[in-house]
Structure 1
Amino acid sequence: MARAALRTDMYRLLESALLDCNITEELRECFHDRGDGGVTLVRPVDRLPKTLLLNAFIPRLNDLLDEHAATFPDRAFRLRVAIHSGEVLSDENGIFGEDVDITFRLLNAPELKRRLRQTAASLVLAVSDDIYRSVVRHGYAGIDGRTFEPIIDLEIADRPYRGWVQVPAEALASRALHRIDRMPEPA
């Protein structure tokens, strides 16, 4: 029964975070259940740039997880999240393809699990090297590349893949400290 409540809460928070960022049902697929987690496929459309996932959706999901934990401490949970882009195939048995494999390998990387154990934060994020190179490193508003660590190294189909990890709550705290450091001295 407790597992069912956590599952319901997880999907409710994911849905809320998506909708709060205007990532509506016509911009994404329905959730694909994975037992103790879920997958959301977002369609590549002009109304939904990748930056929105990083500078709006992830912070909002993190905030919702924190609010949920404060309101329902007995049902608090934490999440590992992975973001990658690419081609996804599907058939009557579900989704598949190399880019799906990369995403799940990032999500299940021991380094990401270790990073979650090392923090009290509600969420840890892994992004693929493709996302890091095409979005994160360019310094778009609300995305600080300095808060991402290249700590995941994978091999898929005899090819190396790197994953970058961020703890959004720690990144937010770092930005706040950076702003305080830059404030002028009172006259």
Structure 2
Amino acid sequence: MSLDPGTPGPHRADRVQTAPVMAHAGRKLRPRAWGLALIGVVALLSSPTLTVWSASAEYGGADSDGHWIDGAGNPLSSAPPTVQVEAHTAPAALAVLLLVVVVGVFLPPTLERFGKRSLGDVVRYAAYLAVPVVVVVGVLIYSVWQGHVVMDQIDHEVLRPHGFPWGGVTVTTGHATR
């Protein structure tokens, strides 16, 4: 059987040659700098809103005769102290987030120029993972610290509560007013 009607059949090979069909290889999934920058901006903008709270306490007051008393009911010669605590994100926490994003954006192209492309990908993947971990772990630890340690200090009438290093506290002390 001949494929071309003009050629005789016995002198021509009667088989069809085939080549393997390969699927398109596509592009390798690589972490991109713009995605990391976007995640970093969202983390930097949302982190301060997740870690803001305030608490206040008065350590005494006035009795029925209008005389100052402390929290236990003992008379005082002057107004009892008050404390107002406002918690906020520490600048060091924001600096750590910014450092992770900057390293993840700018170090991989530098490594690629020196022939270390795969190491650059590892650095960028690590930055992609580090940003949410830093935010989530930081906020959880900060919230537990502020919720337990600082509130306990306020309950025990400590006038200078100590905030967690990941978040700062602004402490305002004063005296009760009538």
TM band (smaller chain): under 0.3
Question: Larger relative contact order (C-alpha < 8 A, sep ≥ 6)?
Answer: 2
Q: TM-score, normalised by structure 2?
A: 0.23
Q: TM-score, normalised by structure 1?
A: 0.22
* Rg comparison, structure with higher value: 2
Higher helix share: 1
